[in-house]
Amino acid sequence: MASTPTFEYYNDAWAAKMIGRRSRRGIDAYLGVEVTEFGPGRLVAGFDVTEDLITMIGNMHGGCISALVDHCLGVVMYPVMPEGSWAATTEFKINLLAPVSKGRVEATAEILSMTRRLAVVRIEVENALGPDSSQRRMVALAQGTCTIVAPKGAA
């Protein structure tokens, strides 16, 4: 099956700085998204399903998962692009597989294809349950496209 492409660039220092860092603003801050693993073309990021995220029906809104997917799509691109480049989430498609009401939500994003202009990223989202997060089930599957914008003045 799909082998991750090799990457010409990889800004290890930038990736390392992202681990465990939380945004102070924006929807990723609201959700409490944290990157826990980062490598060339691959990251793991997630958040705890707190009471605040649960709707009156008793489940977490699916929008929390699609926002996480959107977030990962952009972040996974940064360290593999030439410095000064910009990655825009052009589009993505997501299947929501099962409701989530507790535990932790964790997305694994992988760049499966990358050219100078476009990348295709696949994201799998699991719900981790149990005291040690060892019970895991797939709750969403996504596939998205990022457009890479070269820095001004680049060839």
| Binding-site string for a copy of itself from residue 86 to residue 125, where x marks contact by CB under 8 A and - marks none | --xxxxxxxxxx----------x-x-xx---xx-x-x-x-
Q: Checking DSSP bridges between strand 86-96 and strand 42-48, what pairing results, if any? A: unpaired
Residue 34 β-bridge partners: 46
Binding part of the chain for a copy of itself, among 7-15, 75-83, 127-135, 138-146 by CB under 8 A, reads 138-146
Considering only residues 74, 78, 101, 150, which one is a binding residue for a copy of itself as defined by CB under 8 A? 74
Q: Smallest gap, in angstroms, from Cβ of residue 84 to a copy of itself?
A: 14
Q: Where are the alpha helices (DSSP H) in 19-141?
A: 27-31, 62-75
Q: What are phi and psi of 5, to 5 degrees?
A: -70, 160
The residue (of 15 and 60) whose beta carbon lies closer to a copy of itself is 60
For position 43 contacting a copy of itself by CB under 8 A, the verdict is no
Q: Where are the alpha helices (DSSP H) in the chain?
A: 12-18, 27-31, 62-75
